[in-house]
Chain A
Amino acid sequence: MAPNPALRRKREDLVREHMDSENRHEFDATLDTFEHPRYELIATGDVYDGTEEVERYFEESRRAFPDQRNELLALHHADDAVLVEAVIRGTHEGPLRNLPPTGREYELPILAIFIFDGDKLICERVYFDQATVLRQLGIARDPLSLTGRLQTLVGHPWTIGRGLVRQLTGL
């Protein structure tokens, strides 16, 4: 069943407050938008479940990117979810999982699925491309560029060598 207008408005207000409070760095307010706090990051397979883990996730991302903010581009209402296209921006000024701060800025398009149980937010599932961030932080190369191709060859000689043999012999 498609959500009625009142339910839509309630969900949309909650999603907008969720994203705005992140921009204001009021993470307690962000946490309050959840009935059950939970993040699922599809690219990395990371799941943060419950208040404690989600607070740790907020702290980690705030340490790495103290100025991180989001911009909402489009919002889609579905039966049991609100799906948001957005851009996240930030400057890498603190350690990110053992990667020292590079001082570089990144800009990342994401798709976030805010999953609802009725009018209660129970999960945010995020689709994004890790390589887009790593390239902008200067620690990965576009695999199609010349330097990217050279790095692939130097860093993965066996994989590429076996592939060339496979291509030549047709096996």
Chain B
Amino acid sequence: MATLETAATRREELVRKHVEAENAADHEAALATFQHPRYEYVATDEVYDGAEEVRAHWEELNRAFPDQEIEIVALHNADDAVLMEAIARGTHAGPLRGLPPTGRRFEQRFLAIFIFEGEALVGERVYYDTSTVLQQLGIAREPASLTGRLETAASHPLTISRGLVRRVIGR
């Protein structure tokens, strides 16, 4: 049992080091925590595999959100993974995929699975809500709000009117 506890502690330390390096925008130090650098974003199906793609991904994020910071809320040690609940915060001060900087701040709670082979970090899989970020940047509305409903009805009239017909006729 002692060896298991020690391996878990070492994995947890590596995850903390990884997050600290990301917060310092020290990409080389963050890369060094991976045996194989790889990111998977479940919400968007994006995968960044290998040092070159992961570096480019971090550069894109730092350009869009130069002050981005991650705060760890909880770490869950599993057999072959460390699962991290965390909050990311940042200001949208640079271009993001054609979206000009809105100057707004976002705060987003997310879950990251740090995937290990033994004690080697081989990937990070991220579960997060893109809607929360887009709403906070001011480019999407909460669908249940009044303005959100108006926007939905205005931009998806066929979907909504077919739905209303379906509800009225019960089919």
Enumerate chain A interface residues (CB-CB to B < 8 A). 2, 42-43, 76-79, 81, 83, 85, 95, 97-103, 109-111, 113, 127-132, 134, 137-141, 143-144, 149, 151-152, 154-156, 159-160, 162-164, 166-167
Give chain B residues whose Cβ lies under 8 Å from the Cβ of A140. 140, 143, 152
In the complex formed, the residue of A with least CB distance to B103 is A166
> How far is the CB of A4 from the nearest CB of chain B, in Å?
9
Interface string of B73-85 (1 = CB under 8 A from A): 0001111110101
Give chain A residues whose Cβ lies under 8 Å from the Cβ of B118. none
Q: Are A102 and B103 in contact (CB under 8 A)?
A: no
How many B residues touch A, CB cutoff 8 Å? 52
Q: Are A138 and B129 in contact (CB under 8 A)?
A: no
Give chain A residues whose Cβ lies under 8 Å from the Cβ of B83. 76, 78, 83, 113
> How far is the CB of A72 from the nearest CB of chain B, in Å?
15
Q: List 21 A-B contacts (CB under 8 A).
A: A42-B111, A43-B129, A76-B79, A76-B83, A76-B113, A77-B78, A111-B127, A127-B129, A129-B128, A129-B130, A130-B131, A132-B130, A139-B152, A139-B156, A143-B130, A143-B139, A143-B140, A144-B97, A152-B140, A154-B155, A160-B99
